[in-house]
Amino acid sequence: MRRLLALRQEQKLTTRHVRLMAQSLEVTERTVWRWLAAAERDESAAEEPGARAQTRDRFTVTPEVRRLLALWKGNVAAVHRELTVRAARQSPPAAPPPSLPTLHRAIQRDLTPGERAGLAKGERAARKHDVFLARPRGWRNQAWETDHMQAPVLVDVDGTARRPWITWFTDCATNAITGVAVTPVHPSRESVLAALRSAVLREDPYGPFGGLPEKVRVDRGKDFLSRTVTAAFDLLDVGVEDLPAYTPHLKGTVEGLNRAVESMFLAALPGYARQPRPGKRPSRPKDEVLLGFEDFTARLLAWTLWWNTEHCPAPLRGRTPIEAWQDDPTPLRDVPAADLWTFTLEDAGTRTLTTRGVRFKRRDYVGPWMTGQAGIQVRVRFMPHHDHRIEVYHAATGRYLGPADLADQATEEQVSAVRKSRAARARRLKKDLHASQRERYAAATQAEAPQRLGALTTAQAGAELAQATDSDLSDLALPDLIPPAAPPDGWRTPASLAALTGSGQRNAAPPGQGGAHAPDAPDGQAAPLTTDQDGDAS
| pLDDT tens, residue by residue, 316-325 | 989 999 999 9
Element holding 241 (H helix, E strand): strand 239-242
Give the model's confidence band at 26: pLDDT under 50 very low, under 70 low, under 90 confident, else very high: confident
Read off φ and ψ for residue 366, nearest 5 degrees: -130, 160
Q: What is the pLDDT of residue 509?
A: 44
In angstroms, the CA 271 to CA 160 distance is 13
CATH of the domain at 379: 2.30.30
Answer whether residue 421 shows pLDDT above 80. Answer: no
Give the model's confidence band at 90: pLDDT under 50 very low, under 70 low, under 90 confident, else very high: confident
Q: What is the mean pLDDT of residues 31-35?
A: 88
Cβ neighbourhood burial of 213 (10 Å; 0-12, 13-18, 19+)? buried
* Same domain for 291 and 155: yes
* Same domain for 155 and 119: no
Q: What is the pLDDT of residue 245?
A: 80
Average pLDDT, the chain: 81
Read off φ and ψ for residue 149, nearest 5 degrees: -145, 125
* Same domain for 303 and 219: yes
In angstroms and rounded to an integer, the radius of gyration of the C-alpha atoms of the chain is 41
Cβ neighbourhood burial of 336 (10 Å; 0-12, 13-18, 19+)? exposed
Grouping H, G, I as helix, E, B as strand and the rest as coil, residue 25 is helix
Q: What is the pLDDT of residue 479?
A: 64
Please give the tally of structural domains in the chain: 4
Residue of 501 and 24 predicted with greater confidence: 24
In a domain, 122, yes or no: yes
In a domain, 275, yes or no: yes
CATH of the domain at 280: 3.30.420.10
In angstroms, the CA 383 to CA 380 distance is 10
In a domain, 224, yes or no: yes
| In contact, 213 and 179? CB cutoff 8 Å | no
Q: What is the pLDDT of residue 524?
A: 42
Long-range contacts of 436-440 (CB under 8 A, 24+ apart): none
Answer whether residue 440 shows pLDDT above 80. Answer: no
CA distances, 255 to each of 247, 258, 319 (Å)? 11, 5, 20
Burial 488-527 (b: 16+ CB within 10 A, else e): eeeeebeeeebeeeebeeebbbeeeeebbbeeeeeeeeee
In angstroms, the CA 101 to CA 80 distance is 10
Give the model's confidence band at 519: pLDDT under 50 very low, under 70 low, under 90 confident, else very high: very low
Q: What is the pLDDT of residue 11?
A: 85
Which of 54-63, 335-344, 462-471 is predicted least confidently? 462-471
Give the model's confidence band at 492: pLDDT under 50 very low, under 70 low, under 90 confident, else very high: confident
What percent of the chain has a predicted confidence (pLDDT) above 70? 80
| In contact, 194 and 184? CB cutoff 8 Å | no
In angstroms, the CA 38 to CA 32 distance is 10
Q: What is the pLDDT of residue 325?
A: 94
* Same domain for 385 and 311: no
Read off φ and ψ for residue 249, nearest 5 degrees: -70, -15
* Same domain for 317 and 382: no
* Same domain for 318 and 282: yes
Answer whether residue 181 shows pLDDT above 70. Answer: yes
* Same domain for 369 and 225: no
Grouping H, G, I as helix, E, B as strand and the rest as coil, residue 74 is coil
* Same domain for 297 and 160: yes
Answer whether residue 400 shows pLDDT above 50. Answer: yes
* Same domain for 187 and 149: yes
In a domain, 93, yes or no: yes
| pLDDT tens, residue by residue, 226-258 | 888 898 899 899 999 999 887 888 888 999 999
Grouping H, G, I as helix, E, B as strand and the rest as coil, residue 192 is helix
Q: What is the pLDDT of residue 300?
A: 93
The set of residues, in sequence order, having a beta carbon less than 8 Å from that of 245 and lying 6+ positions away, is 219, 220
Q: What is the pLDDT of residue 277?
A: 54
Question: Residue ranges of the alpha helices (H) in 217-334?
Answer: 227-235, 252-264, 293-309, 321-327
Answer whether residue 23 shows pLDDT above 60. Answer: yes
Q: What is the mean pLDDT of residues 441-446?
A: 64
Q: How many CB atoms lie within 10 A of CB 481?
A: 6
- For 15, how many CA atoms within 13 A lie in the half-sphere containing its CB? 3
Residue of 5 and 276 predicted with greater confidence: 5
Helix, strand, coil percentages in the chain from 3-state DSSP, rounded to 5: 40, 15, 45
Answer whether residue 203 shows pLDDT above 90. Answer: no
Q: What is the pLDDT of residue 438?
A: 62
Answer whether residue 299 shows pLDDT above 90. Answer: yes
Residue of 176 and 412 predicted with greater confidence: 176
In angstroms, the CA 76 to CA 97 distance is 13
What percent of the chain has a predicted confidence (pLDDT) above 90? 28
CA distances, 370 to each of 263, 301, 398, 403 (Å)? 53, 39, 16, 10
* Same domain for 290 and 264: yes
Q: Which residues form the domain of 269?
A: 144-327
Q: What is the pLDDT of residue 535?
A: 43
Q: What is the pLDDT of residue 423?
A: 79
Residue of 516 and 187 predicted with greater confidence: 187
